[in-house]
């Protein structure tokens, strides 16, 4: 276990410990705390205080990334209109409307410009092969079948390389846009730059962020020091209006505190064992928002039931039963007649949930339970102000009210949201 105490050197330590020299995840169990006594730290844990200067050099790694070609993506393609995005793979080709590409790799930018200028839309594999060999590209990732695998050895056999690249391109085209045709007149702007710097002025629903916030390069070179700087303008205005508001007596309160006798330490520890299952949640609404269903349709169906084309029923998820037995037993003890979705909600460090509301009728409903809540993580609630959370604090919320959450610490915030009938 590695434990990092939050401070200004956090991003350097995390980049060094969560990834190897060339950016592959180490798989280490890394805990980030505000204070050393936030939880029981084992004697054999490595401890790093991010308030102490940390000397590490990422120049060699950054040089490699800035000269790397990604031929395909290692994630599923999302189609949007008038999009801001990175330039890896062929993701950008299938988008609709205007495409604004910002990529940290000079090689990737050169490759896209070369495609736009010289490619005729046929035999993608041959074009890629010629680009790599002509420009003597050392660092490249093929990533066949939307999986992370460099497949660099393929380059030794020209015919096999071209064949596999073309087959993968056809698979993606048929999967996402069978009617697709190469269009060199499409408005594609490509820049060698950091997409993150563009996000404050772009609606997140028009952005494809890829994995840049889970990427060593982000921590090593592009780290956001102030989450508030990334917020949508409407969210910033809302926060200014609600920071000092404190409404206690209304006929329809925005929230109501409830006592649930939360076994905070046990639940927190069990959450650490399901971190690998956390899935991105409503990426159009925020950055660093992750979720896991304890009870629901499956651990990764974290959105409302109506979002999915079918309904699998609600039950305790196998992953929760295996890894969170104490949490499940505590939930069962609360006296609910039935549960719908019950989720672990994680908001990563330097992340946020933009302004939104979750229902159109006024009533107290879902219960929000804090397992931890960093001091610099704020929940701003319409008709209330800043909602004060401490470990174990729980509120019934009237989510007809607009709200936003900003985690300006480096410590992940873990809450549990309970939907059910009492």
pLDDT for position 86: 97
pLDDT for position 313: 94
pLDDT for position 285: 87
- Nearest Cα to 10, choosing from 26, 30, 37, 24? 30
pLDDT for position 283: 87
pLDDT for position 186: 86
Domain boundaries of the chain, sorted by first residue: 2-56, 64-219, 227-421
For 152-198, the pLDDT digits (tens) are 999 999 999 999 999 999 999 999 999 999 988 889 999 999 999 99
Q: Are 62 and 217 in contact (CB under 8 A)?
A: yes
pLDDT for position 200: 87
pLDDT for position 371: 98
pLDDT for position 263: 97
CA within 13 Å, CB half, 289: 17
- The listed CATH number (3.40.50.920, 3.40.449.10, 2.60.120.330, 2.30.30.90) that belongs to domain 227-421: 2.60.120.330
Q: How many CB atoms lie within 10 A of CB 208?
A: 22
Q: Which residues of the chain have pLDDT under 70?
A: 245-250
């Amino acid at each position: 276990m590695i434990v990092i105490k939050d401070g200004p050197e956090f991003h350097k330590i995390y980049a060094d410990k969560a990834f190897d020299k060339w950016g592959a995840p180490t798989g280490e169990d890394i805990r980030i705390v505000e204070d050393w006594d936030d939880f029981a730290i084992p004697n054999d844990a490595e401890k790093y205080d991010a308030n102490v200067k940390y000397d590490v050099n990422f120049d060699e790694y950054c040089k490699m990334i800035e000269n790397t070609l990604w031929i395909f993506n290692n994630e599923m393609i999302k189609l949007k209109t008038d999009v801001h995005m990175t330039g890896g793979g062929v993701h950008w080709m299938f988008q609709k409307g205007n495409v604004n590409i910002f990529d940290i790799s000079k090689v990737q930018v050169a490759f896209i410009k070369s495609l736009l200028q010289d490619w005729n839309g046929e035999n993608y594999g041959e074009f890629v092969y010629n680009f790599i060999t002509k420009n003597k590209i050392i660092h490249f990732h093929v990533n066949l079948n939307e999986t992370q695998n460099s497949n660099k050895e393929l380059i030794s056999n020209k015919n096999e390389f071209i064949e596999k690249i073309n087959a993968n391109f056809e698979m993606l085209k048929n999967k996402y846009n069978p009617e697709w045709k190469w269009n060199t007149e499409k408005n594609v702007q490509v820049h060698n730059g950091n997409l993150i710097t563009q996000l404050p002025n772009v609606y997140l629903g028009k952005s494809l962020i890829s994995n840049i916030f889970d990427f060593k390069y982000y921590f090593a070179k592009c780290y956001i020091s102030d989450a508030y700087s990334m917020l949508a303008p409407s969210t910033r205005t809302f926060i200014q209006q609600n920071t000092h508001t404190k409404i206690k007596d209304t006929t329809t309160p925005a929230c109501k505190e409830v006592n649930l006798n939360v076994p905070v330490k046990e639940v927190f520890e069990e959450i650490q064992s399901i971190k690998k299952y956390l899935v991105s949640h409503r990426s159009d609404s925020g950055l660093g928002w992750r979720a896991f269903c304890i009870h629901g349709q499956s651990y990764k169906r974290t959105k409302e039931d109506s979002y999915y084309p079918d309904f699998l029923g609600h039950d305790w998820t196998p992953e929760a039963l295996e890894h969170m037995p104490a949490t499940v037993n505590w939930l069962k003890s609360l006296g609910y007649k039935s549960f719908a979705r019950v989720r672990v909600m994680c908001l990563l460090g330097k992340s946020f949930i933009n302004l939104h509301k979750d229902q159109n009728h006024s009533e107290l409903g879902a219960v929000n339970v804090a397992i931890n809540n960093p001091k610099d993580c704020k929940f701003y609630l319409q008709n209330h102000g800043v909602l004060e959370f401490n470990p174990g604090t729980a509120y019934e919320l009237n989510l007809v009210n607009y709200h936003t959450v900003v985690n300006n610490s480096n410590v992940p915030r873990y809450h549990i949201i309970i939907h059910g009938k009492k």
